[in-house]
A and B are shown apart, each in its own frame.
Chain A
Amino acid sequence: MHHDPGSVGLVETRSVRLFTADAPLTLASGRTLGPIDVAYETYGTLNADGSNAVVICHALTGDAHAAGWHAGAKGPGWWDNLIGPGKPLDTDRFFVISSNLLGGCMGTTGPSTVNPETGNVYGLDFPLLAIQDFVEVHRALVRHLGVGRLLGVIGGSMGGMQALEWSLRYPDEVANAAIIAASSRLTAQNIAFSAVARRAIMDDPNFAGGHYADTGQSPDIGLSIARMMAHITYLSEDAFTEKFGRAPQNASRRPGFGVDFAVESYLGHQAEVFLERFDALSYLYLSRVMDYFDPFAAHELVARRRPVNYLVVSFDTDWRFSSAHSRRIVRRLESARYPVTFRDITSPWGHDSFLLVIDAYHDTLRAWFDRALEVGV
């Protein structure tokens, strides 16, 4: 529990209004959005010269609560194994910032927020977003917290995309960027998975054109299917075999179309838990952002006197964003002569590995962040 000396202990999610209707955010699309409230947490202490700040960017379904415990919670934050006293992101030395991203549903303004102009939930009137919009909101939060140049920004999966975008768009603001199990350009297969997930949501009769808040009935079936399918892609075949094999759900087989294999029950449970904490509109908006992300087409990589120092990590059983995705990132950064370190970590767990304690992975992050702190911003 939170008495564990490696834990940051009890934490609370805070909220701040970073953009207003009068001073809105101009999005990549050209549309403006305001007000924007952001849910965030911080761990550790910003040092006197502000040189130890690291921003965590979460993936598709993450939230601001990355580490420590909320009062009464059953489990800690989603990246608690990485962040805390003595952990690779050692909160005795680093100041860690984590926020829910724009378009999310865990306290930051998103499509299920009430539009103050109409008094109704935005629904599909919410503007389409881009990874760069997430970054702009992160930057506003960093400024709000009084931090200048960041020691580092780190993210896994879609979080890695934010770290990459940030480092390419504002290379003077970031000393180090760690891009874990991410992609700089989705393949047709990646887009296809997300397309099926979105179809499941939008074809659920309860979706009601995105106005399900008015009807009081949410598209739970669609969101469940989306989550179950996505979850399959987050694990490797070996991981499923290891966890479940062909084990029956009950003492003996009950052939039929019910839940008869343990893996079926597991997926159902994943979906159920997900419904409690996630919103279908956010799923639509956030997953769509990834499809269009293509930063190396958008940014010219110019020689820099003080380039961002990169760490790129992939996992050898990740088939959602395979090592080839990471190697493409490495190739682009390396050919621009930016310092880049790359490891393809051996792990049986597939895409989800970035959330797990894998010694070679955590040792890498520890060594890299220790060095970053030594060199400074």
Chain B
Amino acid sequence: MNASVWQSGPLRADLALVAAQIPDASRVLDLGCGSATLLSYLMAERGCSGTGVEIDPDKVLKAIRRGVPIIELDVDRSLSEFSDASYDVCVLSRTIQTIQRPEHVLEEMARIAGLLIVSVPNFGWWGHRLRLLRGRMPMSKELPYSWYDTPNIRHTTLVDLETLFDKLGLTVVKRFTFTEDGRRLRMQGARANLTAGAAVYVLRPGGRPRTS
């Protein structure tokens, strides 16, 4: 058996950016980790340890073969398994749009880890708005599904998401935005909500939750 096929190659650009936010030797919980390419890289190259959570059986099997500890459970219902402050970093990479209870999951992430990394597709991107103006539901490279077969059930714009972060007392330490093609946008402020196809947030819990 050729072992090299199981080892991590170069990371996808967005994962590389996520990886760059994670300090060496961190303990990382990756929710919706897929076949665990990020964790595999972090463990092999950066001295990290950690656990993945994934529900897709084929991806779970690949993660096991890669030697990444992985828990096959639904992110929506499994986070009570993890104890308070048991991880340094908790990653939710392109997963928030697929889960039933994003608010609950973000709260749980803040309980489990001191640094959160959340990457999302932006429903507010101008191309989506254009499609909606023409009377059609948004579809794009980031969101390539028809409304009836999409795993993405919680669409959010960056502005709406930041409102939720604020409500939960999550402080945005950094925000990276990307074009629909995945190129980095050097854009701050609310205009990114129009121009960005996706974003990566680095968050710290412990800010005061906004009482409503």
Contacts and interface: CB of A to CB of B under 8 A. Distances in A.
Interface of A: 309-311, 327, 330-331, 334-335, 337, 339-344, 360, 363-364, 367-368, 370-371, 374-375
A327 B81 CA distance: 8
Interface string B70-84: 111100000001110
Majority SS at the chain A contact face:
helix
B8 to A, nearest CB: 14
A368 B3 contact: no
Interface in B43-65: 49, 51, 57, 60-61, 64-65
Q: Which of B3, B60, B64, B73 has the most CB of A within 10 A?
A: B64
Contact of B81 (A334, A344, A363, A368): A334
Contacts of B3: 374
Given A340-B69, A371-B67, 13 more contacts: A310-B69, A327-B81, A334-B71, A339-B49, A339-B69, A340-B51, A341-B64, A342-B72, A343-B60, A360-B57, A367-B65, A371-B65, A374-B3
B150 to A, nearest CB: 24
B86 interface: yes
Contacts, number: 56
B69 A341 contact: yes
Contacts of A363: 61
B84 to A, nearest CB: 10
Nearest to A344: B72
A342 B73 contact: yes
Nearest to B65: A367
A15 B71 CA distance: 40
A210 to B, nearest CB: 44
11 contacts: A334-B51, A335-B86, A339-B49, A341-B71, A342-B71, A342-B72, A363-B61, A364-B61, A371-B64, A374-B3, A374-B67
A316 to B, nearest CB: 11
B204 interface: no
B71 A330 contact: yes
Contacts of A311: 64
A344 B55 CA distance: 10
Interface size class of B (residues with CB under 8 A): 20 to 34
Contacts of A370: 1, 65
A375 B64 contact: no
Contacts of A327: 81
A330 B57 contact: no
Contacts of A310: 69
Interface of B: 1, 3, 6, 27, 49, 51, 57, 60-61, 64-67, 69-73, 81-83, 86
A317 B1 CA distance: 35
Contact of B71 (A309, A340, A364, A374): A340
A364 B58 CA distance: 10
Contacts of B83: 335
B4 to A, nearest CB: 11
A173 B212 CA distance: 55
Nearest to B63: A341
A341 B72 CA distance: 8
Contacts of A334: 51, 71, 81-82, 86
Contact of A337 (B6, B71, B72, B86): B86
Nearest to B72: A343
B64 A368 contact: yes
Given A341-B69, A342-B71, A367 B82 contact: no
B42 to A, nearest CB: 13
Contacts of B1: 370
A-B pairs, 5 with minimum CB distance: A339-B69, A367-B65, A367-B64, A343-B72, A371-B67
Nearest to A342: B71
Contacts of B67: 371, 374-375
Contacts of B6: 371, 374
A375 B43 CA distance: 13
A310 B51 CA distance: 12
A364 B59 CA distance: 11
A88 B58 CA distance: 17
Nearest to A339: B69
A309 B83 CA distance: 19
B69 A337 contact: no
A343 B3 CA distance: 24
Q: Which of A310, A331, A337, A342 has the most CB of B within 10 A?
A: A342
A331 B79 CA distance: 11
